[in-house]
Amino acid sequence: MRLAFHAEGEPVEAEVLPDGWHPEEDVAFLRVVGTSPEGTRPATLGPARGSNGHPYQALGYPRDGPVLARWPQA
């Protein structure tokens, strides 16, 4: 797949990791094929403990709506 970053340069190729697609949660773990764009780094993953009440943003494609991405905020 082609993956676009919020960075300079063209989109790059990426692949879904083995066992990286979880359709129940609508999430996939990707690996960039080749070199990542300059100025980017892997996302830091960790527990959600202690994050209650903090603002967030998530991009999603709701099942019940048009095929347009939505940015829910809390």
Asked whether the beta carbons of 20 and 8 are under 8 A apart, the reply is no
**The most confident of 8-17, 19-28, 53-62, 64-73, by mean pLDDT:** 8-17
Token output for 71? 């940015």
The pTM (predicted TM-score) of the whole model is: 0.55
Residue 72 confidence (pLDDT): 59
Q: Answer whether residue 27 is part of any domain.
A: yes
Asked whether the beta carbons of 50 and 64 are under 8 A apart, the reply is no
Q: Answer whether residue 10 is part of any domain.
A: yes
Q: Answer whether residue 21 is part of any domain.
A: yes
Residue 61 confidence (pLDDT): 64
Asked whether the beta carbons of 58 and 51 are under 8 A apart, the reply is no
Range of the domain at 17: 2-32
Mean pLDDT of 26-39: 88
Mean pLDDT of 17-28: 86
Name the domain count of the chain.
1
Q: Answer whether residue 28 is part of any domain.
A: yes
Q: What is the DSSP letter of 57?
A: B
Helices (H) and strands (E) in the chain, counts: 0, 3
CA distance 23 to 18: 14
